[in-house]
Amino acid sequence: MADEKKLTSQSEDYSAWYNEVVLRAELADYAPVRGCMVVRPYGTTLWENVQQALDRRFKETGHVNALFPLLIPMSFLQREADHVEGFSPELAVVTHGGGKELEEPLVVRPTSETVIGYMYSKWIRSYRDLPLLINQWGNVVRWEMRTRLFLRTAEFYWQEGHTAHATYEEAQEETLRMLGVYADFAINDAAIPVIEGRKSESERFAGAVASYSIEAMMGNKWALQAGTSHMLGQNFAKAFDIQYLDENNELQYCWTTSWGLSTRMVGAIIMAHGDDQGLRLPPKLAPYQLVVVPIWRNEDQKRAVLEVTARIAAHLRSSYRIKVDDREEVTPGFKFNEWELRGVPLRLEIGPRDVENESVVMARRDIPGRAGKSVAPMAGLSAAVGDMLDTIQADMLDSATVFRDANIREPEDYEALKDTVDHGWARAYWCGNPECETRIKEDTRATNRNIPLDQEGAGPGLCIVCGEPAEEWSYWARAY
């Protein structure tokens, strides 16, 4: 049962608001191991809905699921120099098993490029084996020092896709295709407008030739990297001897990719849509799409209201994820507040007068107060609920898009950029020099979020930092 205490407002302390929402909406709780979390049933259902939406897209693009081991020989990570250097500060290492010291330490996987690369070297022999398109759902461990539920935890849940191809062109096409899959999911299911782009060299994945991301704006105007796709070139193929015989019977190295999206997306949904009352969940992903609250004052009313409620719920349950809240120990007002906190997109209220009028009151979570209420006849209610949920989904995306676009500026000079990233995102020319990128980070704590694929006619221009010629925009913002 939700706590009756009022949430800290976003304007007062955004970080406190976030933590309170996660805990009180029963999405997750702190585990006894530092930096780890327990995802509670409500949060797990939300994550399962994310999984199903993505898994369907993966399979539609020809990918299949497999499961690879959690423990990876340390020597595997050492085969790719950039990879081990990039991950070494975050590794959790097993040195003993069965009461004895292991001959070789085992790493609790931070990501699976190495072990999957090893297996691909066994499975791939001919060009006929390509492309190999595999995804896995699982958990990984990265020993983060500063953690926050869903956003950055030592252990987290995700999917990681790993593919092997005959040519650079095919691998690059796959890298961008999967970036587009993530963007399609974020926009159409999570109702979060995202920007697809290429990461700078300093921000790319350890061992990749190029990394791409989808970036989303949160409610406090910070950025969140919500998904990544990496072109690995032949780095891991050469490290693990992933080769194939081509049509001319000549041995060639494969080109590989990897891509991943994690429970960080749950954090994105919370912060992109939440308000001072709590969560606001998009209908396509919400654990419950609607909650039905029967209201009565005496036993006669109770009997009539619950009878109608049961009939309506049975009818709607075949089409929607529904919860009937018929608890008697709390008031209707308490129920309204609780389900608002937990972000259920639509609430149906059924009282004695509604029974008489053969109607229900529909209350939208995304529009507070009376403005979000309407009356719908019981006849044809399923279609009316469906239309309302579609409207809520579309309006949430529109609202998030308007908010994002209103908080992106194009500063005229470096001093203006400093001010801009204090209040939102900056879109500015960058020459590509890492020294200019570092200067922005040191002066403002803003980072290069990505170089958008859609340059909207940019170039040529002048770097916002040094004034040298630049061909591309970059987005700059403080980020989680």
Q: Is it the case that residue 80 has pLDDT exceeding 90?
A: no
The pair phi, psi for residue 25, each rounded to 5°, is: -80, 0
pLDDT digits (tens, 9 = 90+) for 296-347: 999 999 999 999 999 999 999 999 999 999 999 999 999 999 999 999 999 9
pLDDT score for 447 = 98
**pLDDT at residue 85 above 90?**
no
Query: What's the predicted TM-score (pTM) here?
Result: 0.96
Average pLDDT, the chain: 96
What is the CATH superfamily name and number for domain 290-387? Anticodon-binding domain (3.40.50.800)
Whether the pLDDT of residue 3 is over 60: the answer is no
Q: What is the pLDDT of residues 429-462, one digit of tens each?
A: 999 999 999 999 999 999 999 999 999 888 789 9
The 10s digit of each residue's pLDDT in 362-378 is: 999 999 999 999 999 99
Cβ atoms within 10 A of the Cβ of 159, count?
20
- Domain coordinates in residue numbering, the chain: 14-273, 290-387, 409-477
Which amino acid, residue 120? Y
Q: What is the pLDDT of residue 456?
A: 84
- The percentage of the chain sitting over the pLDDT mark of 70, rounded to a whole number, equals 99
Token pair recorded at residue 394: 């579309």
- pLDDT tens digits for 17-54? 999 999 999 999 999 999 999 999 999 999 999 999 99
For range 356-367, the mean pLDDT: 98
CB 440 within 8 A of CB 456: no
Q: Is the pLDDT of residue 1 over 60?
A: no
Query: Do β-strands 64-65 and 132-141 pair in parallel, antiparallel, or remain unpaired?
Result: parallel
DSSP 39-96: E-HHHHHHHHHHHHHHHHHHHHTT-EE----SEEEHHHHHTSHHHHHHHGGG-EEEEE
Q: What is the pLDDT, as a whole number, of residue 4?
A: 65
Res 145: pLDDT: 81
What's the one-letter identity of residue 195?
Answer: I
pLDDT value at residue 83: 75
Contact 198, 450 (CB under 8 A): yes
Question: pLDDT at residue 360 above 60?
Answer: yes
Q: Please report which helix (H) or strand (E) contains residue 348, including its range.
A: strand 346-350
Helices (H), 99-167: 113-123
Give the containing element (helix H, strand E) for 197.
strand 194-198
Give yes or no for a contact between 470 and 460, defined as CB atoms under 8 angstroms apart: yes
Q: 385 with 320: CB under 8 angstroms? A: yes
Q: What contacts 24+ positions apart, CB below 8 Å, involve 394-402?
A: 395/366, 395/367, 396/191, 396/273, 396/280, 396/282, 396/366, 397/187, 397/188, 397/191, 397/192, 397/193, 397/282, 399/366, 400/191, 400/192, 400/193, 400/217, 400/272, 400/273, 401/193
The pLDDT, as a whole number, for residue 442 is: 98
**For the chain, what's the residue count?**
480
pLDDT band at 148 (very low <50, low <70, confident <90, very high): very high
Instruction: Report residue 420 as tokens.
Output: 């801009």
Positive or negative torsion for Cα 327, 330, 332, 337: negative
User: Which tens digit of pLDDT belongs to each residue from 378-398?
Assistant: 999 999 999 999 999 999 999
pLDDT single digits (tens) 165-199? 999 999 999 999 999 999 999 999 999 999 999 99
Q: Which two tokens stand for residue 421?
A: 């990233």
Q: Is the pLDDT of residue 139 over 90?
A: yes
Q: Which amino acid does the sequence have at 299? A: E
CATH of 409-477, one of 2.30.40.10, 3.10.180.10, 3.30.110.30, 1.20.58.220: 3.30.110.30
State yes or no: pLDDT of 274 exceeds 60: yes
Give me the percent of the chain exceeding a pLDDT of 90.
94
- Apex 101 CA angle, 98 and 102, nearest 5: 85
Question: How far apart are the C-alpha atoms of 283 and 319, rounded to whole Å?
Answer: 13
Q: Are strands 210-217 and 194-198 parallel, antiparallel or unpaired?
A: antiparallel
Amino acid 133: pLDDT: 98
For residue 193, say if its preceding peptide bond is cis, omega within 30 degrees of 0. Answer: no
Residues 76-91, mean pLDDT to the nearest whole number = 82
Which phi and psi angles does 342 have, rounded to 5°? -90, 0
- Inform me whether the pLDDT recorded for 82 exceeds 80: no
Q: Which CATH number fits domain 14-273: 3.30.930.10, 2.30.42.10, 3.20.20.20, 3.30.1330.50?
A: 3.30.930.10
User: Which residues lie below 8 Å from residue 330, measured CB to CB, with a gap of 6+?
Assistant: 1, 338
